[in-house]
Structure 1
Amino acid sequence: MADGGGYDLLTALPDDVLRLLLARLPSTAEAARTSVLSRRWRSLWTNLPQLRFADVTDLARVAAVLRHHSAPVLLLRIESSDPAPEKIAAVLDLVAPRLQGKLHFDIITPGNQNSAAGAAGIGAAIRIPCFEKATEVTIRLLRGIGIRLPPPSGVFARLTALSLSHCRLDDQSQRDLGGAVSSEGCPSLRELRIRDADVVSNLAIRSESLRLVQLSRLEGIRQLTISAPALTELDLYACLLWGMPMVDIFAPALGTLRWVDFFRSSSVRFRAMPNVHTLAVFVMVYGYVSHSLPLLQYFTEARDVRLSLVYSSISSNDKLLVEAVKDELPAIEILFLRLLTEGHTFGP
């Protein structure tokens, strides 16, 4: 934009203002293209603190941009359909030393390319670098791609939120998942989310800082241990479907528990949970009823209770449900029952 004398008023603005304008563009690629406007604009985009890459088909281009970028990164958001493990690793290695904020790395394979593109990464493993200064890390890969965690010497000192999904924890890692997300590896971690992943058989999380843990559709767990005195919210969904996994949970500050699984209370141990006020449980009524419903005894102060009950065969043990709710939940104020039945009729 120029005035009547041909003077470029926009370029005359201070660098800080111009960078604010570039930061408002939808993607880093568009910001980089402004370098053709004039010599003054040529390097402005390389100092942007926030980088966004959408619909990336070749991660090598993202790596090329990061090599020219010189400023600390407060936000890096990547959405790509390129599952090549070596390219993913290259991008992570480039950004790790400079990331001082949030990383959102999402590998999305289009439906019409899932067999070809996805096969490129199946069976491979990516080494995750240590993000010493990052505050939030979200990585979503393809289920067949493995990740190797940093060695025990690597500490995510400032990390407060970690989300991993659609990945496989490689058994050749120098550190197991539990150790990496516990206080020794993430001393500031407050929120942990792991979804749709193949994990180690013995998952042990011991954290002084965690407030929220969400574990969903994890395969391979045979023993789950959580010791988190500050934990207030715990979600477990379809992590203990097969066999009789051992579960030991210590979370005295827990206020909300949501648990969707088929499990036996004989292999589940809760310790000191007097503050749970919201409870949501999915249980089998027949066959597993004598093991599942007694879990209610651990949550006698629960006021908001949501039970999803699967009636898979005919039995005459209905009284057990009524007695369990009446005897084990004396403080209950709200009761939500979701009944999955097979030809049953329920009366008063």
Structure 2
Amino acid sequence: MHLRWGPRRRSPRLLAQGGGPDLISDLPDDLLLLVLAGLPCVSAAARTGVLSRRWRSLWPRLRQIVFSDVPLHSLEAVLDRLPRPLPLVSLIKIRFPNERLPWPIPEERLVDAASVNSLLRAAARLEPEEFEFELPTNLLDGPLIVDLPCFHRATSILLDLHPVDVILRVPTGVEFPALEELHLWACTADIDALLSCSPRLRTLCLSNVYSDNDDLAVSATLAVSSASLQELVLLQTDWMDGVNIVAPTLRQLTVSFPAMEKVSISVLAPMVEMVAWRCCYFELSIVFGVWRLEQVTLQTAERPGQLPSLQIHASANPIFVSEEETFMHEIEKHMFAEFSVLDLHLETNGHVFGALVFHVLGMNRICSAMQKLKVILQRSSVKEGCSPHCPCESTGWRSQTISLTRIKEVEISGCGGDDHDIDFLKLILKCAPRLKKMIVKLSDGGASSSDDGCTNIYNIFKAYSSVELCLS
């Protein structure tokens, strides 16, 4: 019997049916690793080992290890089975599959703190440059206390813990000497401890994150103090009662949070250049006359030629109780950065607005900084005509004299052209000697070119020939 040694030669018939040379496996290793890196999960990369022995030795050399379809209870064992030594791992990304489980969920499938902490330690042992971890909320049973282990080489960490009761702790001795970027979602954490062990941190993003102390007492005041931070993002959907920021090298600040009542705000960031700040009020406690404060926004310029602005939203309702000092003091808390535009969004609900606007303009920090005034009136179908004793006319604003020497442009949208609106325009013209342009946009159903109100608007500008009027 004659035996043949060496590679078998394929017949012309097999070649014609697609069983030709394996051209993909002949590619260089670097190209094949790029192919494997494009697969959605490292388990899929491992399964390519069925193609040939050469593929089996490739996937352990991946520098980016992504898990997206491996159950949590199996994941730690998979990490421990990775061949050693591994190449320098640039990324470990852990996402869990959405499993359809019976209800109630079997106890053996539920996730506890011990399994989560053990998995994090296994990932830390691989020393990735970037680490991303998302906790599976559908498998959690009650609150978890998660201890964050040392990631010595990590420059970026992202922890998405979802809206569950998770307390993130930093054990004694844990450090992140290379960490430059940290993202946290939905947890309670000791922010001071995280910052103190991250001396190179440049970017901090917190979304629905709350502070705790050593006694695990949750605080609705979020405090961030760092000498290295250059970008800070704070996004909250649950109400806060305070924000305290000390960041001497901070360049960019983004903050959005709701408040139930008065808030405590302290921002010490002398080098900040870009600000996007928004606070929404959901209680009725911040009022002036009939006006309730709804939102304050502070925004620096986003493009060349744009001016930084302070935006105030308020709505009128006669059931409110006047607290003049509270209203203005609350607005002043948000004025920690320079602005040149005052943007007022007023929902009138049948009430007049002159008293409120001039009360705001009377603030020293506003009248000394403002170069442009925008008033956007959201009129209701109720005809505006308050009684002499209505709180919206409570301050005798028509007789006020305010020095608006820096203001150069005024824009009013929703002007009705009635006596109140005419008096408001007259007082603006009187108080702003350097005004160059006024844009008046009439409300639907307001004055038209044939109305007396519109004629009166044109007439009052005859005495101010240096002011350009744009009426539409």
Report the TM-score, using the length of structure 1 for normalisation: 0.74
Give the corresponding residue for 2:48: 34
1:158 is displaced (CA, Å) by: 1.7
Counterpart-to-counterpart distance in 2, 1:250 and 1:95: 37
Deviations 1:91-145 (A, max 9, x none): 3211113243222223465xxxxxxx35x34212221212221111111113223
Of the three residues 203, 213, 227, the one matched with 2:232 is 213
Are positions 1:246 and 2:264 aligned together?
Answer: yes
Are positions 1:278 and 2:308 aligned together?
Answer: yes
Deviations 1:194-222 (A, max 9, x none): 11234332643221221221222276865
The 8 Å contact of residues 41 and 69 in structure 2, kept in 1 or not, is answered as no
SS in 2 for 1:96: helix
Are positions 1:293 and 2:341 aligned together?
Answer: no
Give the corresponding residue for 2:128: 100
The 1:103/1:309 distance shift into structure 2, 3 A limit, reads farther
1:3 is displaced (CA, Å) by: 9.7
Counterpart-to-counterpart distance in 1, 2:159 and 2:63: 20
The 1:326/1:282 distance shift into structure 2, 3 A limit, reads closer
The 1:50/1:154 distance shift into structure 2, 3 A limit, reads same
SS in 2 for 1:329: coil
SS in 2 for 1:187: coil
Give the corresponding residue for 1:329: 369
Counterpart-to-counterpart distance in 2, 1:61 and 1:326: 60
- What does 1:124-135 align with in structure 2 at a 5 Å threshold? 124-135=144-155
Give the corresponding residue for 2:169: 149
The 1:16/1:281 distance shift into structure 2, 3 A limit, reads same
The 8 Å contact of residues 210 and 222 in structure 2, kept in 1 or not, is answered as no
Q: Gapped runs of 5+ residues in structure 2? A: 1-7, 12-19, 100-109, 213-218, 287-299, 302-306, 316-321, 385-413, 416-420, 422-472
SS in 2 for 1:178: helix
The 1:55/1:10 distance shift into structure 2, 3 A limit, reads closer
Query: Percent identity at matched positions?
Result: 25
Counterpart-to-counterpart distance in 2, 1:21 and 1:338: 58
Q: Gapped runs of 5+ residues in structure 1? A: 110-116, 170-175, 265-274
Counterpart-to-counterpart distance in 1, 2:201 and 2:350: 44
Are positions 1:65 and 2:78 aligned together?
Answer: yes
Of the three residues 218, 230, 250, the one matched with 1:231 is 250
Counterpart-to-counterpart distance in 1, 2:47 and 2:163: 35
Give the corresponding residue for 1:272: none
The 1:212/1:44 distance shift into structure 2, 3 A limit, reads same
SS in 1 for 2:121: helix
- What does 1:83-232 align with in structure 2 at a 5 Å threshold? 84-85=111-112, 86-107=114-135, 117=138, 120-169=140-189, 176-181=190-195, 184-200=196-212, 201=219, 203-217=222-236, 224-232=243-251
1:34 is displaced (CA, Å) by: 0.5
Aligned-residue CA RMSD (Å): 3.9
The 8 Å contact of residues 260 and 281 in structure 1, kept in 2 or not, is answered as no
Deviations 1:291-347 (A, max 9, x none): 233347644x42466556677996853422344486043345x85858698979664
Report the TM-score, using the length of structure 2 for normalisation: 0.57
The 8 Å contact of residues 63 and 94 in structure 1, kept in 2 or not, is answered as yes
Deviations 1:63-90 (A, max 9, x none): 2332233333212223224872444333
Give the corresponding residue for 1:79: 95
SS in 1 for 2:245: strand
Higher strand proportion: 1
Instruction: Point out the structure with max Rg over C-alpha.
Output: 2
Letter of the 1:88 counterpart: V
Counterpart-to-counterpart distance in 2, 1:296 and 1:222: 13
1:52 is displaced (CA, Å) by: 2.1
SS in 2 for 1:302: coil
Counterpart-to-counterpart distance in 2, 1:304 and 1:165: 34
Counterpart-to-counterpart distance in 2, 1:143 and 1:338: 38
